[in-house]
């Protein structure tokens, strides 16, 4: 039995696709092993969102080669899609497959095994205009299950390489999403996370397709569904209809990730974002009116070309005003082929680092402000893993990381936990005996 090892970089979509690919190999009789183990085949699911992602992808490819120089090494995913020639320069790489026709991976690996040939299987998006099904064929053994509902993005923000790596918007048929969620719930998953490249744009490629609000409303009808979480939603896609559906269901996890990127209107315009800082603030106010205790998280880019100190401070002050529970801070990374890479006023790395650190310090303060509201309160927590001291760690519905202890705890079940203490980046609590 040949052994296959996977390494996944990047977003939740990549994680979902890796699980689907593992299932395809298992179905063909392969054994899945840890990436640190000796394997006959190594699959690196790459990311290209920043230049650091590219570098990390190459590092993991070389690490696989070191583990077994005779192994079949396959690079798949976003970096493979946009830069196959770069990857093929690494002599030991046997197969490059981008984000199109990933379902062919097992077939192509077996061809390499037979013929010991080098294959560039990266295809254009013109070959795939519909959503490519990659159904999960196995339970990944985790507490939460990710379900991919769409592929691609039509936004073309000035800094972003992802539309070039993932192609145009393609939505998964509503009935297929519902069927997969039902299956996952029936197999014991307490929480389902809807994910995609541009999740909020679900159904927007055609006027007569169901939209995200319609899909979520259908999912809430599934009796076995306990919790539903949405991954990143672009502000312009967050509709009144969606808010109504979410606010009226106890199954909705009180957490939304709404990428801000900048709090300065001129920078937002240069980024080709589709909202102003005022519109973003109004959206936050509207959401909080309907769901008061909701956790809001976001992405922020510092050092976009031409960003002045005043413009950065506009972002800093807006982040503080919103009071996010958490923010992901990215230093702008030029991506070849994107409009921003050619813009004047590129910011020095040292200045990007300074601005990034200021926001990271603010991030700690914001977390404490949000988490402190729940001291003494009971939150519903799904345990995901146990540490060396026997404490369980998981997430509440409002995405607080919670540590607690207890006997006969089962991964993936929902437990009431009374929050007693605030720590750095998480809270701890006591199991409430029902």
Distance (Å, whole) CA 71 – CA 92: 9
Output the pLDDT for position 107: 97
Q: How far apart are CA 242 and CA 304, in angstroms?
A: 31
* CA dist., res. 333 & res. 340, Å (int): 9
Last residue of a domain, which of 344, 364, 384?
A: 364
Query: Domain count of the chain?
Result: 3
pLDDT at 114: 94
Are 289 and 426 in a shared domain?
no
- Work out the pLDDT band at 258, boundaries 50, 70, 90: very high
19 and 86 within one domain = yes
In this structure, which long-range contacts are made by residues 91-95, counting pairs with CB atoms below 8 Å and at least 24 apart in sequence?
A: 92/65, 93/61, 93/118, 94/118, 94/119, 95/119, 95/121
Q: What is the CATH number of the domain that holds 406?
A: 2.40.50.140
Check pLDDT > 90 for residue 134: no
Both tokens of 174, joined, read 């509503």
Q: Does residue 204 sit in the same domain as residue 273?
A: yes
CB 26 within 8 A of CB 19: no
Q: How far apart are the first and last CA of the chain?
A: 47
Q: Are residues 172 and 310 in the same domain?
A: yes
| DSSP-derived 3-state class of residue 285 | helix
Same domain, 162 and 208: yes
Residue 17 covered by a domain: yes
Rounded distance, CA 341 to CA 335, Å?
6
pLDDT at 324 (0 to 100): 99
Question: Is the confidence at residue 143, as pLDDT, over 90?
Answer: no
Q: Are residues 164 and 223 in the same domain?
A: yes
**Burial grade of 168 (CB within 10 A; 0-12, 13-18, 19 or more):** middle
Name which of 412, 392, 434, 407 is nearest 426 in CA terms.
392
User: pLDDT value at position 405?
Assistant: 93
95 SS3 class: strand
pLDDT of residue 141: 57
Q: Domain with 64 in it: what CATH number?
A: 3.40.50.12160
The label of the residue with tokens 């082929």 reads 337
Same domain, 175 and 309: yes
Same domain, 243 and 306: yes
pLDDT at 138 over 70: no
Give pLDDT, residue 213.
Answer: 99
286 band by pLDDT with thresholds 50, 70 and 90: very high
> Among 28-42, 138-152, 369-383, which stretch is predicted with the lowest mean pLDDT?
138-152
Region 272-293 average pLDDT:
98
Return the CA Rg of the chain: 22
Domain co-membership, 383 together with 331: no
What is the layout of strands, in order, in the sheet containing 227-230? Answer: 170-171, 144-151, 191-196, 227-230
Among 73, 93, 127, the domain boundary falls at 127
Which residue bears the tokens 């102003």?
Answer: 276
Query: How confident is the model over 166-192, as pLDDT tens digits?
Result: 999 999 999 999 999 999 999 999 999
Do residues 252 and 352 both lie within one domain? yes
One domain, residues 178 and 313: yes
**What is the rounded CA–CA span in Å between residue 140 and residue 135?**
12
Residue whose tokens read 């009796």:
223
In a domain, 134, yes or no: no
Region 287-312 average pLDDT:
98
Last residue of a domain, one of 364, 387, 404: 364
The verdict on residue 171 lying in a domain is yes
Q: Would residue 135 count as lying in a domain?
A: no
Percent of the chain with pLDDT over 90: 92
268 Cβ contact list (under 8 Å, min separation 6): 261, 262, 275, 276, 277
What tokens appear for 20 in the block? Answer: 């689907």
Q: Is the pLDDT of residue 341 over 70?
A: yes
**Are residue 116 and residue 148 in the same domain, yes or no?**
no
**Domain carrying residue 183:** 144-364
φ, ψ (nearest 5 deg) of residue 264: -110, 130
Predicted pLDDT of residue 260: 99
**pLDDT, position 347:** 98
DSSP helix/strand/coil, 364: helix
Per-residue model confidence (pLDDT) at position 358: 99
Classify residue 329: in a domain, yes or no.
Answer: yes
CA dihedral 236, 368, 254, 276 (to 10 degrees): -10
How far apart CA 42 and CA 79 sit, in angstroms, is 16
pTM of the model: 0.93
The CATH number of the domain holding residue 188 is: 3.80.30.20
Question: Which residue is associated with the tokens 């923000």?
Answer: 157
User: Tell me: the pLDDT tens digits for 206-241?
Assistant: 999 999 999 999 999 999 999 999 999 999 999 999
Look-up: residue for tokens 């998480």? 426
In this structure, are residues 144 and 192 in contact, taking their beta carbons and an 8 Å threshold?
yes
pLDDT at 139: 53
CA 317 remoteness from chain centre: 26
Please give the mean pLDDT across all residues of the chain. 95
Task: Tell me if 217 is assigned to some domain.
Answer: yes
Residue 334 has pLDDT above 90, yes or no: yes
Residue 138 inside a domain? The answer is: no
């Amino acid at each position: 039995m040949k052994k296959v090892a996977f390494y996944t970089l990047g977003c939740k979509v990549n994680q979902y696709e890796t699980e689907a690919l593992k299932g395809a190999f298992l179905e063909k009789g392969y054994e899945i092993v840890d990436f640190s183990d000796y394997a006959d085949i190594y699959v690196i699911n790459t990311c290209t969102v920043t230049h650091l992602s590219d570098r990390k992808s190459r590092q993991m490819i070389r690490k696989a080669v070191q583990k077994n120089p005779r192994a079949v090494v396959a690079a798949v995913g976003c970096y493979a899609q946009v830069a196959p020639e770069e990857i093929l320069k690494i002599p030991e790489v046997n197969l490059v497959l981008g984000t199109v026709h990933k379902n062919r991976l097992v077939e192509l690996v077996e061809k390499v095994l037979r013929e010991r040939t080098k294959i560039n299987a990266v295809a254009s998006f013109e070959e795939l205009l519909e959503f490519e099904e990659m159904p999960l064929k196995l339970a990944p053994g985790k507490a939460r299950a990710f379900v991919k509902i769409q592929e691609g993005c039509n936004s073309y923000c000035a800094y972003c390489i992802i539309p070039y790596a993932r192609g145009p918007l393609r939505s998964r048929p509503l009935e297929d999403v519902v069927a997969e969620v039902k299956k996952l719930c029936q197999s014991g998953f307490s929480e389902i996370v809807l994910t995609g490249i541009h999740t909020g744009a679900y159904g927007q490629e055609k006027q007569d397709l169901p939209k995200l609000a319609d899909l979520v409303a259908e999912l809430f009808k599934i009796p076995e569904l306990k919790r539903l979480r949405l991954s990143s939603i672009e502000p312009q896609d967050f509709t009144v209809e969606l808010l109504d559906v979410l606010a009226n269901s106890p199954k909705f996890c009180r957490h939304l990730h709404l990428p801000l990127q900048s709090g300065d209107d001129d920078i937002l315009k240069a980024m080709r974002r589709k909202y102003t800082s005022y519109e973003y603030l109004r959206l936050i106010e509207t959401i909080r009116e309907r769901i008061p205790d909701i956790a809001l998280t976001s992405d922020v880019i510092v050092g976009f070309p031409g960003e002045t100190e005043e413009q950065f401070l506009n972002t800093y002050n807006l982040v503080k005003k919103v009071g996010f529970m958490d923010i992901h801070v990215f230093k702008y990374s030029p991506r070849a082929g994107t409009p921003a890479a050619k813009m004047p006023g590129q910011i020095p790395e040292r200045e990007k680092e300074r601005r990034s650190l200021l926001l990271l310090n603010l991030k700690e303060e914001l977390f404490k402000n949000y988490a402190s509201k729940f001291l003494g309160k009971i939150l519903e927590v799904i345990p995901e893993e146990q540490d060396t001291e026997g404490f369980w760690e998981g997430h509440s519905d409002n995405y607080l990381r919670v540590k607690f202890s207890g006997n006969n705890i089962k991964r993936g079940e929902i437990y009431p936990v009374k929050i007693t203490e605030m720590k750095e980046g998480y809270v701890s609590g006591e199991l409430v005996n029902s």
